[in-house]
């Protein structure tokens, strides 16, 4: 019997790397990867080689513009959701949230708001971004220390989203097991937990990623808006209003009266997005189903997966790491 093999997705391939990236890789510490076999530690954070190539290209070539908005997230913190919300918010004068032909009805949020290093700068070393109309909206998982210089030099704004580390871990474990090639088998939760606690996860250590943006948001609140998944879940309208103010496009009293905020929240809700045909059957150009970005969309699913020992240990680590920062989960 012939077993049909899916082509290896681009993010797992280590060919097509630039010589600069290959030279760098040979000098970096390595660890076991979550999807690709190896992680490399660059500027204090762990990455598979393809993402690292994307980061290097982005650092070299990305030219931020003053009106850009960059959504920065820790993986599995609700990036897909915030992409949908930010796209709808920023483009609301062009596309009414209730229009039957709203772009979200037929496009994945990942198409409407592309990743820099995981998509645009992964596919091309220096992509032509001239087709993106201002105000541009991009996303990234890059840690603060790795952001391209032009982001600091310009007046562009950063919206940062993170999530309770226990839910982040569980979500990441499910997600990466779906992405692993069949011959790699699944990774156990115990193994994933050990790696996560040791800081070895996509764009980890988790706490360093979060603290980098948390501290910057305190120093520079006009530049960095810091948001937690749990808070957004709890009071989506309140946080959407704050986001609009931060981005310089506040809702008018007319819009408030017309319940535009509630409409946007509803359009971008887990139930609505996950049930759209495009998100049920569509695929990213790299081959993954869009549906992998929708699982449960709940706060506290860790209670169904982590043992009490795991919870105690992860809580202890987080308490130590976030001690004195003013941040807790
Ligand atoms: P779970 O695995 O806990 O369900 P990311 O988009 O950063 O990859 O994060 C994915 C997580 O966000 C998944 O969490 C997914 O179900 C959840 N998610 C996706 N869309 C959402 C939405 N519209 N509202 C709330 N959560 C959403």
Specify the pLDDT at position 11.
Answer: 61
Ligand 1 mutation pick, 201, 270, 279, 303, max ligand atoms within 8 A of CB: 270
Find, among 157, 134, 66, 73, the residue nearest to 109 by Cα. 73
Question: Which residue's CA is the nearest one to ligand 1's atom 17?
Answer: 297
Which 3 state secondary structure label does DSSP give 232? helix
Q: Does residue 7 lie within any of the structural domains?
A: no
Q: Does residue 54 lie within any of the structural domains?
A: yes
Specify the pLDDT at position 1.
Answer: 38
Q: Does residue 41 lie within any of the structural domains?
A: yes
Domains in the chain: how many in total?
1
Decide: 273 in ligand 1 pocket, CB within 6 A: yes
Q: Does residue 120 lie within any of the structural domains?
A: yes
pLDDT in tens, the chain (329 residues): 333 345 556 666 666 788 999 999 999 999 999 987 799 999 999 999 999 999 999 999 999 999 999 999 999 999 999 999 999 999 999 999 999 999 999 999 999 999 999 999 999 999 999 999 999 999 999 999 999 999 999 999 999 999 999 999 999 999 999 988 777 889 999 999 999 999 999 999 999 999 999 999 999 999 999 999 999 999 999 999 999 999 999 999 999 999 999 999 999 999 999 999 999 999 987 788 999 999 999 999 999 999 999 999 999 999 999 999 999 99
Specify the pLDDT at position 329.
Answer: 93
Distance from residue 149's CA to the centre of ligand 1 (Å) = 30
**Full domain range(s) for residue 72:** 30-322
Specify the pLDDT at position 284.
Answer: 81
Q: Does residue 24 lie within any of the structural domains?
A: no
Indicate which CATH number applies to the domain containing 85.
Answer: 3.40.50.300
Q: Does residue 11 lie within any of the structural domains?
A: no
Q: Does residue 234 lie within any of the structural domains?
A: yes
Q: Does residue 25 lie within any of the structural domains?
A: no
């Amino acid at each position: 019997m012939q077993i049909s093999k899916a082509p290896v997705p681009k993010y797992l391939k280590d060919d097509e790397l630039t010589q600069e990236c290959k030279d760098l890789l040979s000098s970096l510490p390595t660890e076991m990867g979550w999807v690709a076999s190896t992680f490399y530690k660059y500027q204090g954070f762990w990455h598979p080689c393809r993402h690292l190539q994307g980061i290097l290209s982005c650092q070299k070539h990305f030219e931020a513009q003053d009106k850009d908005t960059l959504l920065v997230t820790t993986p599995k913190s609700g990036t897909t959701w915030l992409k949908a919300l930010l796209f709808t918010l920023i483009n609301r004068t062009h596309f009414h949230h209730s229009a039957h032909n709203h772009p979200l009805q037929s496009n994945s949020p990942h198409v409407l708001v592309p990743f820099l290093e995981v998509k645009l700068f992964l596919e091309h070393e220096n992509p032509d971004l001239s087709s993106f109309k201002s105000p541009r909206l991009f996303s990234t998982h890059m840690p603060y220390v790795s952001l391209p210089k032009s982001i600091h030099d310009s007046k562009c704004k950063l919206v940062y989203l993170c999530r309770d580390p226990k839910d982040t871990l569980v979500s990441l474990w499910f997600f990466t097991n779906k992405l692993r090639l069949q011959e790699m088998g699944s990774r156990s939760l115990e193994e994933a937990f050990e790696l996560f606690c040791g800081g070895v996860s996509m764009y980890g250590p988790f706490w360093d990623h979060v603290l980098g943006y948390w501290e910057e948001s305190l120093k520079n609140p006009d530049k960095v808006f810091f948001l937690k998944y749990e808070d957004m879940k709890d009071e989506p309208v309140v946080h959407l209003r704050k986001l609009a103010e931060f981005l310089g496009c506040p809702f008018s009293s007319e819009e408030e009266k017309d319940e535009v905020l509630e409409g946007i929240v509803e359009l971008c809700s887990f139930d609505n997005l996950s049930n759209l045909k495009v998100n049920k059957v569509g695929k990213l150009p790299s081959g993954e189903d869009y549906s992998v970005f929708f699982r449960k969309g709940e706060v506290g699913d860790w209670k169904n997966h982590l043992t009490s020992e795991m919870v105690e240990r992860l809580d202890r680590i987080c308490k130590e790491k976030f001690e004195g920062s003013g941040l807790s989960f």
